[in-house]
Structure 1
Amino acid sequence: MKLGVIADDFTGASDIALMLSEGGMPTTQFVGVPERAADAAVEAGVVALKSRTLPAQEAVAQSLKACDWLVSQGCTQIVFKICSTFDSTDQGNIGPVTEALADRLGETCVLVCPAFPETGRSVYQGHLFVKDLLLSESGMQNHPLTPMTDPDLRRVLRKQTSWEVGHVAIGTVWSGSDAIKWSAAAAGKAMVIVDAIRNEDLVALGHAAAARKLLTGGSGIALGLPRNFGFSPGRSPWTGVPGKAVVLSGSCSSATRNQVGIFKASAPSRELPVDDILTQKLSLQELVDWTLAQDTPPLLYSSADPQVVAAAQARHGRDRSAQAIETLFAGLAAALAEAGVKRIVVAGGETSGAVVSGLQADMLQIGPRIAAGVPALKVTDRPLALALKSGNFGGPAFFSEALAILEGSA
């Protein structure tokens, strides 16, 4: 194994795994830190953690364990994969995890870039944009777990680390990979936010980072990395999985709520209100029976408008509400798979983590692209296909498109 990735959630892991696979690197996604050695054919290993919203100390411990395993497999470069919207509060763990990994690997300068232009995420003058809006005006300021109210990544990161935080401006990036290297080196011991507004900028960043032991960023940061290891773009083989299917949605992002509205206009659907989940009004067996009784793939969702989410959190507490939803989706996914469901489309990073944990899947095969940042996936030890979608990803008809690709009919 040459390149290792530590992803702070499951959708982010499949996101960057797709990027590396499309870059020609044989890639496997591992669910948690494996207990055994990887197959010798794997060139890029992506360890999916569920650490994005963990306290810093716990996230650091999990990330260091993943790092040690990846290095033991032969990895010479590690990517700490974070969300392209830099999901992290002032008490967040992006800074502490980056610092701990750098210390473990002996790295003194870490290039940091969450940009992913294909999905509208760009970094300019150190500020993160979502399409034409600053991060703090994009809807992410209403995120139920990690509200992003400051678009200046330098300020956000400085509150999380004792390291200096530097900046490589877009003009330097456009001067090429050598200019990026020189500018970053001049910052000394630092985490360096790198501007990027085009894919070409991320390719230049990747080439500039060829000798670096650690990078931190979104999946876009991997665009230029496979070439550093001698690989060129290629396609992943895929055979679809027919049979019963379901869509599970826990994301409350505006994009997912729009996708939910479109899909349920033509498909059976069941809302799973937080109040009903917490008061145990929902029967897991009844939900499974209802799902199996549908003639077409149905939707089960807890996605709701921000004000509804805020009201539920006020009544029950943020952490208790989130835990109850994740527990339900984990149990539901396990029960549905046991009952014979062969395809599961999931919306939301936390929801995806709950579903994969519930399924007790330990390795995922990377398939073709469904949408930017979202591959088709297969659980390696059974005929079960998955799509794990970050909340903001995918077009309006994503759920229908994902179901067709997982089946092999698109």
Structure 2
Amino acid sequence: MLLGCIADDSTGATDLAAVLVQEGMRTVQTIGVPAPGTDPGEVDALVVALKSRSIPAAEAVRQSLDALRYLQERGTRQILFKYCSTFDSTPEGNIGPVAEALMEALGTEQTIVCPAYPTLQRSIFRGHLFVGDRLLNESGMEKHPLNPMTDADLVRVMAAQSRRKVGLVRYDTVHQGADAVRRRMAELAADGIAHLVTDVTDDADLRILGEAAAELKLVTGGSGIALGLPENFRRKGLLGRHEAGALPEVHGLEAVLAGSCSVATRGQVADFKSKRPAFRLDPQTLADGDAQIDAALAFAAEHMPSGPVLLYATAEPAEVAAAQAVLG
């Protein structure tokens, strides 16, 4: 296997897998770490989807190392740690602790930190993460109920949750090409800088960074950083130039599940509810037993024959705070 990926949630893992397929890699995504000895088949990339973004850092590290061991057993040549393009984290982690645990396990001293994906309105300039035209901490993410992002300076955010030194590869270096980036990486390595936040202002920058990262044992970032990684394996004759095939047509009933409480998801839920049936799952009621699950399934069975339905736990910040006060 060429590329082994550890994603901190399932939806982000799916985004990443889609990018890899788009770039011509035969890709399988798993939900959780496969059982020992599980054979994923003849694939170029495997994406292990965890749910480790907002759990205690020590548990996130344990799960990520379990995923790494499975990928290493498959003979994986490079590891990608995938996290959210809005860098969802806290001063305690989990991005820094997981990245450093993976670095230690892999015996490597340097990696890049790149959540950017300009096509999806995520860019980095002078180390500051933008969502569209707004700084991260002015984008609505500052009100996130689990991981509020109140600082757009990724160098500062990463340093707060890391033991190793953090530096910046600026846009003017990136625009000079992969060789310039590699020289800058070497200069920063000589200064003991392990985590390299990288400026990205368009998707072409991601391909430059991917080429520059060809020899890194570990790459970290959002799904966009994967744009430039497959070509490295092609240059070495390890990956063919086949075109990504069409996805098989899928038939059947449709349901949408939403659990995020971000500004974007709340808007999407409101839009869906104006058009199609939706059922709200209340965490406090769920904690009291299975009655609401039965009601949700009955609701879905009634409405899905006429079109998609929504089952959601998405809520406003005050509602989330009220549930957290009771449930933790």
Task: Kindly report which structure 2 residues correspond to 1:338-357, keeping only aligned pairs within 5 A, or say none.
Answer: none
| Structure 2 CA distance for aligned equivalents of residues 207 and 92 of structure 1 | 28
1:211 aligns with 2:215: yes
* Distance in 2 of aligned mates of 1:283 and 1:255: 26
Answer with 83-92 or 279-288: which moved more.
Answer: 279-288
Instruction: Flag the 1:21–1:293 CA change in 2: closer, same or farther, 3 A.
Output: same
Q: 1:313 to 1:65 in 2, by over 3 A?
A: closer
Match of 1:284, SS state, is helix
User: Greater CA deviation, 3-12 or 60-69?
Assistant: 60-69
Give distance in 1, aligned partners of 2:38 and 2:275.
Answer: 46
1:21–1:234 Cα contact (<8 Å) kept:
no
TM superposition shift of 1:13: 1.0
Separation in structure 2 between the aligned mates of residue 264 and residue 192 of structure 1, nearest angstrom: 42
Match of 2:302 in 1: 293
Alignment of 1:369-380 (within 5 A): none
Q: For 1:99-143, what per-residue CA distance to the aligned partner results, in whole angstroms no more than 9, with x for missing partners?
A: 111111121111111001111111111111111111111111111
For the residues of structure 2 that align with 1:166 and 1:28, how far apart are their CA atoms?
33
Could you say which residue in structure 1 is the equivalent of 2:97?
96
Determine which of 294, 299, 302 is the counterpart of 2:313. 302
Match of 1:24 in 2: 24
What is the match of residue 273 of structure 2? 264
Q: Which residue of 2 aligns with 1:273?
A: 282
Report SS of the residue matched to 1:145: coil
Instruction: Describe the SS at the equivalent of 1:71.
Output: helix
After TM superposition, the structure 1 = structure 2 runs for residues 234-253 of structure 1, keeping only pairs within 5 Å, are 234-253=243-262
Q: Point out 4+ residue stretches in structure 1 off by more than 6 angstroms.
A: none
Task: Give the AA of the match of 1:307.
Answer: A
Residues 252-281 of structure 1, C-alpha deviation per residue, up to 9 Å, x if partnerless? 222222222222222112223344434559
For 1:236 and 1:256, the matched residues in 2 are separated by 30
Distance 1:130 1:3 in 2: 28
In the superposition, relative to structure 1, how do residues 201 and 64 fare at CA in structure 2: closer, same or farther (>3 Å)? same
CA distance in 2: counterparts of 1:42 and 1:251, whole angstroms: 31
The whole-number CA distance in structure 2 between the counterparts of 1:286 and 1:56 is 35
SS of residue in 2 equivalent to 1:146: coil
SS at match of 1:223: helix
Match of 2:158 in 1: 157
Q: Unmatched 5+ residue regions in structure 1?
A: 321-410
Q: Give the counterpart letter for 2:56 in structure 1.
A: P
Counterpart amino acid of 1:213?
K
Hey, what does 2:12 align to over in structure 1?
A: 12
Distance 2:292 2:96 in 1: 41
Say if 1:244 and 1:292, in contact at 8 Å, map to a contact too.
no
CA distance in 2, matches of 1:283, 1:167: 49
1:376-387 matched pairs, under 5 angstroms: none
Q: Which residue in the other structure is 1:380 paired with?
A: none
Q: 1:116 to 1:66 in 2, by over 3 A?
A: same
Whether the 8 Å CA contact 1:23–1:233 is kept in 2: the answer is: no
Counterpart for residue 205 of structure 2:
201
SS in 2 for 1:187: helix
SS of the aligned residue for 2:46 comes to strand
Q: Read off the aligned partner of 1:177 and give its amino acid letter.
A: A
> Quick one: structure 1 residues 185 and 257, their matched pair in 2 at CA, closer, same or farther if it must change by over 3 Å?
same
> How big is each residue's C-alpha offset from its partner over 1:48-71, in whole Å with a ceiling of 9 and x where there is no partner?
111111222221121112112212
Give SS of 2:307's match.
coil
Pick from 226, 231, 254 the counterpart of residue 263 of structure 2: 254
1:273/1:200 Cα in 2 relative to 1: closer, same or farther (>3 Å)? same
Q: Do 2:19 and 2:224's aligned partners in 1 also have CA atoms closer than 8 Å?
A: yes
Q: Give the conservation status (yes or no) of the 8 Å contact 1:111–1:184.
A: no
Residue by residue over 1:231-255, the C-alpha shift from the partner in whole angstroms, topping out at 9 and shown as x without a partner, is: 4473333223322222222222222
- How much does 1:40 deviate? 4.3
- % identical aligned pairs: 49
C-alpha distance in structure 1 between counterparts of 2:295 and 2:52, whole Å: 32
- What's the C-alpha RMSD, in Å, of the aligned pairs? 1.7
Query: So what's the TM-score if we normalise by structure 1?
Result: 0.74
Q: How far apart in 2 are the matches of 1:97 and 1:275?
A: 31
Question: How do 1:41-60 and structure 2 match up within 5 A?
Answer: 41-60=42-61
1:305 Cα deviation (Å)? 2.2
1:189-230 superposed Cα distances (whole Å, 9 cap, x missing partner) = 411101101000000000000111101100111011111111
How far is 1:293 from its partner?
1.2
Amino acid at match of 1:262: D
Shift of 1:11: 1.0
Count residues in correspondence: 317
Q: Decide whether the 8 Å contact of 1:21 with 1:27 is kept in 2.
A: yes
The answer on whether the counterparts of 2:17 and 2:28 sit within 8 Å (CA) in structure 1 is yes
